[in-house]
Amino acid sequence: MVDVWLPYGKTDVCVRIPARNLLGTIEPKEQPGAPDAKAEVERALKEPIGTKRLCEIVKPESKVAIVVDDATRKAPSEKMLLPVLAELNSAGVKDENITVFFGCGTHRAVKPEEAAELLGEEALKRVKTISHCCTAQDLVYIGTTKTYGNKIYVNRAFAEADVKVLLGDVGYHYYAGFGGGRKSVLPAVCGEETIKTNHALLLNANARTGNLEGNPVHIDMTEAARLAKIDFILNVVENKKGEIVKAFAGDLEQAFIEATKLVDEMYKVTIDRRADVIIVSAGGHPADINLYQAYKGLDNALDAVKRGGVIILVAECPEGHGNQVFYDWMTRLGDLKNVEREIKRNFVMGGHKAYYLLKALQNHQIILVSSMPDYYATSVFKLKTARAVNDALTEALKLAGSASRILAMPYGNHTLPVFKAPEENKT
């Protein structure tokens, strides 16, 4: 037997896998954080990719808009913002001419205590902040995307700034391929209809984690950001401890693409054989706080398991399902065709998780090991359940056969296995 430890809530659980069945474990190639995060951000600002330095782009009288993530994202805005303010001040731009926009997209406004946590007390005292509201009247039309015909409405105050700067972090994203870069315009500071039109494109097969090629969500977002005339971005890539590994500054597209290369280097793992059974942990707390969050780990594991195979998702889910729209769509619509129809007709954030879960269930049997009541897990979310991970493995071997080959993935939220047949590896 081989013991594999998997994060579960704030602890770890051990699964005992017969050695003859185990193909291996899939883990990210972690990199250490920069010794000095502030110095790394300052280095990136001094060495921009594809643009002049920010202090050379602005004029002393420029009105500057800076978009940062809202409270639902973990980007280290505080570590990025002060060096950016210093760069702007060095060019003669006064603090009163700088506005920081919380890119809330369809989320609620940022609370005062969250603003202090996101930006730090010093920055908050110095600059004006606005929480973007996607349903507000104060939106302005800036053009229509060429490829998908999306009418782009953005926050008026953001649109009227002379210089526009985006701050964020780059990591994997379900349907945009990667977060960061252009996402700080669409959805961050766009109107509700613009966001819905964009997100409905997730039904396309190319709209998937880690993929930008032919990805309609990404293409539409990029065209929207171009229409918004973005002058400069500052993005960071973090390790799984949340430490900044490297910062990337400069051109909207070039700096972003360089950041995605580092994400792939750290978190993409090529495998040459798919498993019959995969045991995936969402990564422990807070990644497994509810099913809505924990699903990301399951989604990342899909390419590592055979069609018809079994996925064991190890996720504590102390807060249950975690999203009312997700729950409502699963109960009200219940099957994939109905959910697809609803996404096209009226996309609502949360509904997309119902789509992804139902899609995964079409081709795989999923066993959930959690503290969620069985009633919800089985009746609403259509999952099999087990009380402990070793019970789940016993059940999986019954379903897939006692000779099944098994992979374990302890950090599902941070790892993207990609299957490449051995022939492809030789070319």
Q: What is the CATH number of the domain that holds 70?
A: 3.40.50.11440
With beta carbons less than 8 A apart as the criterion, state whether 142 and 152 touch.
Answer: yes
247, β-bridge pairs: 236
CA angle 27, 283, 298 (to 5 degrees): 85
Residue 153 and residue 113 share a domain = yes
Residue 199 and residue 55 share a domain = yes
258 assigned to some structural domain: no
Residue 349 pLDDT greater than 90, yes or no: no
376 assigned to some structural domain: yes
Residue 234 and residue 89 share a domain = yes
In this predicted structure, which of 105-114, 166-175, 290-299 has the lowest mean pLDDT? 105-114
Residue 339 pLDDT greater than 60, yes or no: yes
Q: How far apart are CA 258 and CA 142, in angstroms?
A: 28
Residue 276 and residue 206 share a domain = no
248 assigned to some structural domain: no
Q: From the CB of residue 167, how many other CB atoms can be counted at a distance below 10 Å?
A: 26
206 assigned to some structural domain: yes
With beta carbons less than 8 A apart as the criterion, state whether 129 and 112 touch.
Answer: no
Quick one: CA dihedral 275, 277, 283, 287, positive or negative?
positive
Q: How far apart are CA 374 and CA 359, in angstroms?
A: 21
Residue 426 pLDDT greater than 80, yes or no: no
Q: Of the candidates 317, 310, 300, which has an alpha carbon nearest to the alpha carbon of residue 402?
A: 310
264 assigned to some structural domain: no
Q: How far apart are CA 342 and CA 200, in angstroms?
A: 9
pLDDT bucket at 346, cuts 50 / 70 / 90: confident
Q: What is the per-residue pLDDT for 427?
A: 43
Residue 281 pLDDT greater than 90, yes or no: yes
pTM: 0.91
Overall average pLDDT of the 403-419 stretch = 96
From 238, 255, 284, the end of a domain falls on 238
Q: Of the candidates 78, 103, 115, 210, which has an alpha carbon nearest to the alpha carbon of residue 157?
A: 103
Residue 193 and residue 50 share a domain = yes
Could you report the per-residue pLDDT of 45-92, keeping only the tens digit for each? 999 999 999 999 999 999 999 999 987 777 889 899 999 999 999 999
Residue 83 and residue 61 share a domain = yes
Compare 29 and 240 and report the one with higher pLDDT. 29
DSSP H or E run through 425: helix 422-426
90 assigned to some structural domain: yes
223 assigned to some structural domain: yes
Domain count, the chain: 2
Residue 425 pLDDT greater than 50, yes or no: no
Residue 212 and residue 326 share a domain = no
Residue 86 and residue 20 share a domain = no
CATH at residue 388: 3.90.226.30
Q: What is the per-residue pLDDT for 423?
A: 64
Mean pLDDT estimate for the chain: 95
Residue 319 and residue 230 share a domain = no
356 assigned to some structural domain: yes
Residue 86 and residue 13 share a domain = no
Residue 424 pLDDT greater than 70, yes or no: no
Residue 272, both tokens: 């040459």
Residue 311 and residue 354 share a domain = yes
From 215, 238, 261, the end of a domain falls on 238
Residue 137 pLDDT greater than 90, yes or no: no
Domain that residue 390 falls in: 2-28+269-426
Q: What is the per-residue pLDDT for 286?
A: 87
Exposed, middle or buried, 20 (CB in 10 Å: 0-12/13-18/19+)? exposed
Give the side-chain half-sphere CA count within 13 A for 312: 30
Residue 135 and residue 52 share a domain = yes
Q: What is the per-residue pLDDT for 106?
A: 84
CA angle 292, 246, 212 (to 5 degrees): 55
